[in-house]
Homo-oligomer: A and B are copies of this chain.
Amino acid sequence: MSFERAQGATSRADQTTVRRANLGIVLQQIASGVPRSRARVAAETGLTRGTVSSLVGELLELDLLRETGEGDHSGRVGRPAQTLELGDRIVAVGLEVNVDYLAVCVEDLTGTIRYERHVHTDNRRSRPGPVLSRLARMAEEALEAADVDDLVPVGVAVALPGVVEEHSGTLLRAPNLAWSEIAVADEIAARLPGFTVRADNEANLAALAEHWQGAARGLDDVLCVFGEVGVGGGIFVDGELFRGAHGYGGELGHVTVEPDGPQCNCGARGCLETLVGLEAIARRAGLAAGSEGRTRNITRELVRRAEKGEDAVLASLAEAGRYLGIGLASAVNLFDVEAVVLGGCFGPLFPWISDDVRRMLDERVLSAGWSRCEVRASEFGDGAAVRGAAALTLRSVLAEPWRVAERSRPRQVRAS
């Protein structure tokens, strides 16, 4: 009987499963490169032209694809064939709570940012309720702007600077905010009726953005590290975001690099972020306290002074590079990645820290002699996490396009 079982029967459930899988195959094929015709999609996927036409019809109706005349027709005479490319109406909303700012963006399927806003505010002095209300208002403004532009939002996700329980979207612990056990996804969802809201660790989401369309694109095994007030890590293993047994993995900022080092907000001593977090760098560099609490300002000021060659700043950055390299070397010894991507404030500061990072990896990674891990600057800097929050939804749409019908909220309902 096992032989019959393996062949399976053509039930309606099977047909639905196959059609859903094929919708994803066609959409991902078109997402993977240049615009192309139905005929080319058929040739590339091995599906018949009839099947492709039917699938494309459904994807056009869902706004996941659009048809243009702008294909590759160089050298051709007459009207070019109609070509297919990703739709630009389906969008996702990305939100971010960080230690000293809130951010929102609206990103479309092609990875283009259609709306963004970044607001400085010291969330360490605020209770979660008012901060999340403010973030939800920013999301509403973004959704209104999307509505004006005739876009179709299909989901919302929030990037958070701490450990997040992925399935519930609960922030379990954010040492730098002194928040714990906050049901962030639920609280935002309560303020945005009709939307699915997810939440995840900011570094995981920033890594997702860099892996989808940034500096980590095309790499299966890569570690991304993001410097802000805290330091976060997002690790891809075999092309997938690595989460660990309970989703609490990748906490690079709390790898010990100096056992008796500075006190960390997490309670331990000498965590990586106590030595290479932005405020630690600024403090060592002797930056005025006035710029504290504004991540972007501190980074800009450090870059300005480093370009002028100020000794204290250069020394502080060299020390940050060394410690960052030590922490990364430990992680590379464990994960054996192809590359590390330096993001957040480490992006703009890359020219002054990357040599020390490189040197530490060469000295401290056991396999460095024959398998040299690359060091790259991030592409999206401190905008990666909020982009990644949008990408979390958009990547699900590309993988399972049939879910779009369930996710999108008709605009008529919102307008009423």
Please give the residue numbers on chain A whose beta carbons come within 8 Å of chain B beta carbons, in ascending order.
Answer: 1-3, 5-8, 10, 14-15, 18, 22, 46-48, 51, 163, 172-173, 175, 220-221, 233, 235, 237, 242-252, 254-259, 266-268, 271, 323, 326, 329-331, 333-338, 363-367, 369-371
With beta carbons under 8 angstroms apart, the residue of B163, B259, B367 that contacts A173 is: B367
Distance of A333 Cα from B64 Cα, bound (Å): 39
> In the complex, are the beta carbons of A256 and B7 less than 8 A apart?
no
Please state the number of chain copies in the assembly. Answer: 2
B249 and A334: CB pair below 8 A?
yes
Chain B: minimal CB distance from A193 (Å): 30
Report the minimum CB–CB distance from A146 to chain B (whole Å). 35
Shortest CB–CB separation between residue A251 and chain B, in angstroms?
Answer: 4
Q: How far is the CB of A31 from chain B (nearest CB, A)?
A: 19
24 A-B contact pairs sorted by A residue (CB < 8 Å): A1-B47, A1-B51, A2-B18, A3-B15, A7-B10, A221-B244, A221-B245, A233-B334, A244-B335, A245-B336, A246-B367, A247-B336, A248-B367, A249-B333, A249-B334, A249-B335, A250-B334, A251-B333, A251-B334, A254-B366, A256-B326, A268-B363, A330-B330, A334-B334
**Chain B: minimal CB distance from A136 (Å):** 26
Chain B residues near A366 (CB-CB < 8 A): 163, 173, 175, 248, 251, 254, 266
Q: Is the CB of B245 within 8 A of A338?
A: yes
The one of B14, B237, B256, B331 that contacts A329, using a Cβ cutoff of 8 Å: B256
CB <8 Å contact, A259 and B258: yes
Query: Do A245 and B220 contact each other (CB < 8 Å), given the known contacts A235-B334, A268-B364?
Result: yes
Q: Given A7-B7, A366-B266, answer yes or no on A255-B48 (Cβ-Cβ < 8 Å).
A: no
Cβ–Cβ < 8 Å partners of A8 in chain B: 7
Chain B positions within 8 Å of A268 at CB level:
329, 363-364
Residue contact A2 to B367, C-beta cutoff 8 Å: no
- CB A373 to nearest CB in B, in angstroms, measures 9
Complexed CA–CA distance, A352 and B249 (Å): 28
A250 to B332, CA, bound (A): 9
